[in-house]
Amino acid sequence: MLARHHDPIVAIATAPGRGAVGIVRVSGQDIGPVIAAVCGRPLAARQATYLPFRDAQGKVIDQGLAIHFPAPHSYTGEDVLELQAHGGPVVLQLLLARCLQAGAELNPATGRPCLPQLRVAQPGEFTERAFLNDKIDLAQAEAIADLIDASTETAARSAARSMSGEFSQAVNTLLEQLIHLRMLVEATLDFPEEDIDFLQKADAQGQLRRLQTTLAEVMRRATQGAILREGIKVVIAGQPNAGKSSLLNALAGAELAIVTPIAGTTRDKVSQLIQIEGVPLHVVDTAGLREALDEVEKIGVERAWAEIETADAVLFLHDLTRQAATGETPDAINYIADDARIAGVLGQKLPKNTPIIDVWSKSDMASAEVLERVSGGVLISAKTGTGLQALRQQLLQLVGWQAAPEGVFMARERHVRALQQVQAQLEKAAIQLQAALPALDLLAEDLRQAQLHLSEITGEFSSDDLLGEIFSRFCIGK
């Protein structure tokens, strides 16, 4: 544990701005001097006490509730003091300053500062202390941040399940099975006279298959949780006046983008977060793709392509009213040729695994002959709502959303990557076990590596750099 982890810390634990209630939180090994200085008397453990909070001259800063959580029965595992005051920024800053001042005051008995190391907490440091003091594991700590950042009800409920330990329990079950299998292999290495017969009698192959089956289910739920957490970036692309802004407005259920018959109305991206079955969708409307007529539109088209290249899925809109009903007109020929050109550029710029959905817009205005010629994609009308639900379902299907909401726990990309590495190591182990003369030392190493990758999820094995990266993304006071 780094030296800074022993310092007592203090921070405002509520969001910036005005509110009915604001909280200042203190955590450390011995915070009695701060309690005495601010509250004027000792506090009963885990009982809310209404009293005045006083400054160094004894004047009242505010009146509110003070709660003392003695170690180890607290959020951080250390002594914790929570001061619940009125939620004005000035009041909370005065309380914060008073706590820091109390730590610097001299102890009459020793002539030294009461808490010389008391300092303002860094982002996520309270939760980091909880992790380091074994109050929660790393996956639970991350779930706390995910719960705070959840953008849909489904995401919030999934984060709550992970925070309560459901994801960690699934990982620990895998660890138990893996350690048991490792024990069998290591025993065979220690007693080579038993050789492969020992593993066969213990059904090592059956144990490994069951472990892989359990892992596959955990991976499925974690992958769905990662989609819930990260959301899906969907970019609407197409020629000018294809109906992109109308589609954004229809999906969002609000007039977010300006819609006019004038080509080039949208000059810059317009983004909106919506949800489909609890899955967050970051929908981006972009400028029409064509040869720019002026410098402003040129910048808009460049930004459109930049958004398209980072999309999880692209909705390529085709205007049905610009398809010729009978014969071929110059306008229809040019429009179809420009669509083909855009499709070619999309194929070059996008990764191969990025889905492109052909969306045929303005179906309410198209002739029956044109509609009959459409094959593939989704027919929609942003005006009447026709086809929008089918489009939503296809989006979810293409990005891999399959799980029922209540069966998903929140997970992150690093969790999914770790599980994929475990899967790869177990596949290597299965190949070794199936060999006529297994290389037991290689088998043991494959299982050991699998255990290390699995333990990274809960933080049993983790680097300080990883911890710093994770907790730096938390808000101050949490």
Any known ligand binding at 52?
no
What does the block give as tokens for 341? Answer: 């050109």
Per-residue H/E/C for 168-200: HHHHHHHHHHHHHHHHHHHHHHHCCCCHHHHHH
**Beta bridge partner(s), residue 22:** 85
How far is the first Cα of the chain from the last one, in angstroms, to the nearest whole number?
19
Cβ-contact 167, 222 below 8 angstroms = yes
Do residues 49 and 81 lie in contact, with contact meaning Cβ atoms separated by under 8 Å?
A: no
- Tell me if 135 is assigned to a ligand binding site: yes
DSSP designation for 265: -
Q: Say if residue 54 carries a ligand binding annotation.
A: no
Q: Is 339 annotated as a binding residue?
A: no
Q: Is 269 annotated as a binding residue?
A: no
**Radius of gyration over alpha carbons of the chain, in Å?**
30
Helix (H, G, I), strand (E, B) or coil at 74: coil
- Cβ pair 115, 40 in contact under 8 A: no
Residue 241 marked ligand-binding: yes
Q: Which long-range contacts (CB under 8 A, 24 or more apart) does 249-256 make?
A: 249/382, 250/382, 250/385, 250/388, 251/281, 251/283, 251/388, 251/392, 252/283, 256/285
286 labelled binding-site residue? yes
Is 264 marked as a binding-site residue?
yes
Helix, strand, coil percentages (3-state) for the chain, rounded to 5, are: 50, 15, 35
**243 annotated to bind ligand:** yes
- Residue 285 among known ligand-binding residues: yes
Q: What does the alpha-carbon distance between residue 296 and residue 287 come to, in Å, rounded to a whole number? A: 11
Distance CA 448, CA 427 (A): 13
Q: Is 154 annotated as a binding residue?
A: no
Q: Any binding-site annotation on 246?
A: yes
Judge whether 244 is annotated as a binding position: yes
Q: Is 245 annotated as a binding residue?
A: yes
Distance from C-alpha of 157 to C-alpha of 65, rounded to nearest angstrom? 30
Under 8 Å between Cβ of 450 and 426:
yes
Q: In 10 A of CB 49, how many CB atoms? A: 14
Tell whether 312 is in a known binding site.
Answer: no
Measure the CA–CA gap between 18 and 447, rounded to whole angstroms.
53
Q: Write out the binding residues for K(+).
A: 241, 260, 262, 265
Q: Write out the binding residues.
A: 25, 82, 135, 241-246, 260-266, 285-288, 478
Q: Write out the binding residues for Mg(2+).
A: 245, 266
Q: Write out the binding residues for (6S)-5-formyl-5,6,7,8-tetrahydrofolate.
A: 25, 82, 135, 478
Q: Write out the binding residues for GTP.
A: 241-246, 260-266, 285-288
